């Protein structure tokens, strides 16, 4: 079978495993207070071009989102997000379970627009309603699209106007930052958001995300929040080792670039064969629309998810490439198509 279902189906990139093995017999402090976490933080601060960031290593995307957002907000605060956002659709109400309303606005290619933020803020007029306080975006978005620097700057501006925090979920940030047409860097993410996370789980790590907190008032007591939400690993060193390996010489970007390249060969081949995509995506997730009969045929040799129905006889499917997808896999899929 050709595996195009997701980007977390393999264990970890061999270099990550080697780094874990090489450091296995070194005794360290627990709970992220070890030299490997320190080294990874230095590397990330350097790439983010900020000395001031607080960096915390967390285990997964849902956990990072819920620990961060619940720590950042007061009880009456609400979150604004595109209706397709991961926290709106695929996190089992994890954010709402912390007591915060997530206000959905219609997404545009997976993105939230400044004017929608403005409209949502204006709908919430007094203390009988929740108070919007944080805008959640993801880069890449749920449908594989990316934010430009101009779009991020416009979001920053509107957030400043209404005193809102801007938080970016970076489960697939590597793919966003290495996509063709991208003009955003890690340092731009640090300059334009109040907090964001750099996803490792979907980009070659065994598991793990690095949360970067930029705004001073959001940093206070954050480790207490991690611990109380069950997110503080006694063996936190495992995260430090992995992030050091991913960032010490650009492995993180190399793996993401490869995943994008494989997905783009797929997308080009599919478009060339006369099919359309739901939303053209420059990253490692693409969403072609195929007749259902063709999907049945393709599923005999390839594993992928059906995303949504498209009329009665066709569906959009999600094809995901990863650091482990080979060009042979991609060619075989196109051949089958
Ligand atoms: C944008 C985004 N955020 C968060 C998550 C959740 O991550 P996890 O499955 O590690 O909890 C995902 C998972 O695919 C995701 O795509």
Q: What is the pLDDT of residues 272-313, one digit of tens each?
A: 999 999 999 999 999 999 999 999 999 999 999 999 999 999
pLDDT for 217: 98
Ligand 1 centroid to residue 69 C-alpha, Å = 15
Question: Could you tell me whether strands 314-320 and 285-286 are parallel, antiparallel, or unpaired per DSSP bridges?
Answer: antiparallel
Ligand 1 centroid to residue 131 C-alpha, Å = 26
pLDDT for 316: 98
Each residue of 75-99: pLDDT tens digit?
Answer: 999 999 999 999 999 999 999 999 9
Instruction: Tell me if 237 CB under 6 Å of ligand 1.
Output: no
Q: Which atom of ligand 1 is nearest to the CA of 170?
A: 1
Ligand 1 centroid to residue 67 C-alpha, Å = 14
Residue with the smallest CA separation from ligand 1 atom 5 is 61
**Tokens representing 290?**
């195929």
**Tokens representing 133?**
């306080």
Band of residue 227 on the pLDDT scale cut at 50, 70, 90: very high
Best of 144, 171, 285 for a ligand 1 pocket test (most atoms within 8 Å of beta carbon): 171
Band of residue 52 on the pLDDT scale cut at 50, 70, 90: very high
Ligand 1 centroid to residue 27 C-alpha, Å = 31
**Tokens representing 204?**
């070659």
The strand pairing partners of 78, in sequence order, are 132
Burial of residue 276 (number of CB atoms within 10 Å: 0-12, 13-18, 19+): middle
pTM for the structure as a whole? 0.98
Q: What angle do CA 92, 260, 43 make, to 5 degrees?
A: 80
The strand pairing partners of 56, in sequence order, are 211
Burial of residue 125 (number of CB atoms within 10 Å: 0-12, 13-18, 19+): exposed
Ligand 1 centroid to residue 272 C-alpha, Å = 31
Instruction: Tell me if 86 CB under 6 Å of ligand 1.
Output: yes
Band of residue 46 on the pLDDT scale cut at 50, 70, 90: very high
Q: Length of the chain in residues, anyone?
A: 337
Each residue of 167-196: pLDDT tens digit?
Answer: 999 999 999 999 999 999 999 999 999 999
């Amino acid at each position: 079978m050709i595996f195009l279902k997701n980007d977390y189906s393999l264990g970890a990139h061999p270099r990550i495993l080697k780094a874990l093995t090489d450091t296995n017999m070194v005794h360290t402090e627990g709970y992220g207070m070890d030299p490997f976490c320190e080294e990874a933080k230095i590397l990330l601060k350097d790439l983010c071009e900020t000395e001031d960031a607080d960096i915390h290593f967390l285990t997964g995307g849902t956990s990072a989102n819920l620990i961060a957002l619940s720590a950042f907000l007061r009880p009456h605060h609400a979150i604004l997000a595109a209706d397709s956002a991961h926290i709106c659709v695929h996190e089992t109400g994890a954010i709402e379970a912390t007591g915060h309303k997530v206000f959905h606005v219609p997404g545009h290619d997976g993105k939230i627009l400044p004017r929608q933020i403005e409209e949502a803020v204006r709908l919430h007029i007094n203390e009988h309603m929740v108070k919007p306080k944080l805008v959640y975006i993801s880069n890449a978005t749920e449908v594989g699209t990316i934010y430009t620097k101009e779009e991020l700057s416009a979001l920053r501006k509107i957030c400043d106007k209404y005193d809102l925090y801007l938080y970016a979920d970076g489960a697939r940030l590597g793919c966003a930052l290495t996509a063709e047409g991208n003009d955003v860097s890690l340092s731009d993410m640090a300059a334009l958001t109040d907090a964001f996370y750099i996803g490792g789980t979907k980009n070659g790590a065994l598991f793990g995300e690095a949360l970067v907190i930029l705004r001073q008032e959001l940093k206070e007591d954050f480790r207490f929040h991690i611990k109380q939400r069950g997110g503080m690993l006694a063996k936190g060193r495992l995260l430090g080792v992995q992030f050091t390996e991913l960032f010490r010489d650009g492995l993180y970007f190399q793996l993401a670039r490869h995943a994008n390249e494989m997905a783009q060969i797929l997308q080009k081949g599919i478009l060339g064969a006369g099919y359309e995509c739901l939303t053209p995506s420059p990253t490692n997730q693409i969403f072609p629309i195929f007749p259902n009969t063709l999907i049945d045929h393709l599923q005999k040799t390839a594993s992928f998810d059906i995303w949504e129905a498209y009329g009665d006889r066709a569906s959009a499917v999600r094809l995901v490439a990863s650091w482990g997808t080979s060009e042979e896999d991609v060619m075989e899929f196109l051949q089958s198509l």
